[in-house]
Structure formats: structure tokens, C-alpha cells
Amino acid sequence: MTEARREVRQAARDTITLEVARYRPEQDTEPVIESFDVPRMDDWAVLDGLNYIKDQLDGSLSFRWSCRMGICGSCGMNVDGKPRLTCGTFFTEFSDGPIRIEPLKGFPVIRDLVVEIDDFLGKLTHVQPWLIRDGEELPLTTEYAQTPEQLEAYKQYSMCINCMLCYSACPVYVLDPDFLGPAAIALAQRYELDSRDMGDRFDLLNLDEAVWGCTFVGECTRVCPKHVDPAEAIQRYKVTAAIRSILPWGRR
């Protein structure tokens, strides 16, 4: 092997190609794919690669991120066709690459990898994600003690970080944006199961565009980085709604 060929092979091992979706509304009519070669570090996540592009190759690249620790949920993107947190998706998972990075499916693209989130935030607010107490106005100031068992009843559904991966993976939401969606329904269920809450979200959830719109594909649960299991939350509330439709005098 010649020295030149050896250098080429070494260079190929030392870099990995990121195929990044670009959409600049002032010049693009639709997204295009642009390739970048970035250093291939075993301890680098996809987000590190995007930051390398931003800092060293093309400062115009736009994407969201904040904590880099899988807590804030802001760096969710489609990585090789699957919704993932780019801060927790490492180069070592992709052999020699390339790795394709696209915005989350199902959301309008503002620029490059940045999507519009107003619809998602509106759905979260719609389910009244706060403690409701009869005769008490917000903000609540009284403390209400709970047993460990009462906390455990809803704790799993409280772990959501609003990364929107479940929405991008949900075939119902992608086809029908009016669908309330996995995260919002799981959030409502979190309060429905909270012993301190006295609210009633039945009229918000017992709808075709809410729990009954779910076809139980289960992709929302599979992509959830915090194991919230929104698919289970939806199915559990279907049971609640069915019982209440037959026995309408009981809230739970």
C-alpha cells in the first residue's frame, strides 16, 4: 500500500460524515441535504458533531440544544430516520456512517433542524397540567402530603422532558395534527392519578382527537428517552373513559 493510500484510509477512519438537512427559507423552497466531515471521536455524540459544524465549518447551521445531559429535551431530531436526543446518540452506534440528521417529523420546519413547537405547547396547556383543588385558586399555597404509594401511582408519567420525540414517532399525529398526542395525554393522566388533584379532564380526553384517536402502535413508548410509556397512559385512560361512560357518576 502506498503512503498516499494509507493516509487516505487513515483520514477516512478519523472522520465521519454527517448528512444534515438544511432549510433556509430565504433561499430554499424545500429542505436539502448537505454533507459535512467531522472528527470521529468515540466519546462524541451527534450533538457534538453538530456543534463542530457550527463552530468550525458553517456558522449558519441552526439547531436547538441546551443541557447536553438528556434533561432539557431540546435537542431532539431524527437521526437515521428515528426520533432521538442527539446529546445521547453517539457516533459509536453508527459504524463508519454516514449519519443522516433531519428535523423531527410532523412539525413545520422553521430553519434547518429547528421546528415550530407552538402546537405542541398548546396541547400541553390544553390538558390543564396543574393541580386543581375545589375552592382554591392558583397559585396553590397549601401543602398536601402524599404517601410513597400515592407518589408511585403517577411518578412515571411525571418524568416527561417535553422532547417531542413521541409526537414525531406517532403515525396518528403525523397524519392528523389535531390529535392531542402522546405527551399531552400522558401529562393529563399524571394529574388524573395524583391524589392531590380534584380536577376532571374527562371532557378533554374522551374524544376522537384525544385518547380514542390512538391506534396503539406504541412507537411513542419505544422512542421515549425517559421511559414514560405514553402508550400505556393512553390505554389506561381509555379504560377509565369506557367505565365512566357506563357509570357516569364516578370520577375515577
Residues 202-212 pLDDT 10s: 999 999 999 99
Residues 84-121 pLDDT 10s: 999 999 999 999 899 999 999 999 999 999 999 999 99
HSE, CB side, 13 Å, CA atoms: give it for residue 61. 26
H helix or E strand, kind and range, residue 36: strand 32-39
Cα angle at 175 between 184 and 94, to 5 degrees? 80
Percent of the chain with pLDDT over 90: 87
Burial-class residue 173 by CB neighbours within 10 Å (0-12, 13-18, 19+): buried
Q: What is the pLDDT of residue 138?
A: 87
Integer Cα distance of 178 and 122 in angstroms: 11
The CATH number of 118-246 is which of 3.40.50.1100, 1.10.10.10, 3.30.310.160, 1.10.1060.10? 1.10.1060.10
Residues 2-44 pLDDT 10s: 555 444 445 446 999 999 999 999 999 999 999 999 999 999 9
Return the higher-pLDDT residue of 248 and 189.
Answer: 189
Phi, psi angle pair for 84, to nearest 5°? -150, 160
Segment 155-168 shows an average pLDDT of 98
Residue 160 pLDDT greater than 50, yes or no:
yes
Q: What is the pLDDT of residue 245?
A: 85
Q: What is the pLDDT of residue 7?
A: 45
Domain ranges of the chain: 3-115, 118-246
Assign domain 3-115 to its CATH architecture. Answer: Roll (3.10)
Integer Cα distance of 167 and 76 in angstroms: 11
Q: What is the pLDDT of residue 249?
A: 57
Mean pLDDT score across all residues of the chain: 93
Q: What is the pLDDT of residue 12?
A: 47
Residues 225-243 pLDDT 10s: 999 999 999 999 999 999 9
Nearest to 131 by CA among 154, 164, 149: 154
HSE, CB side, 13 Å, CA atoms: give it for residue 10. 7
Q: What is the pLDDT of residue 98?
A: 97
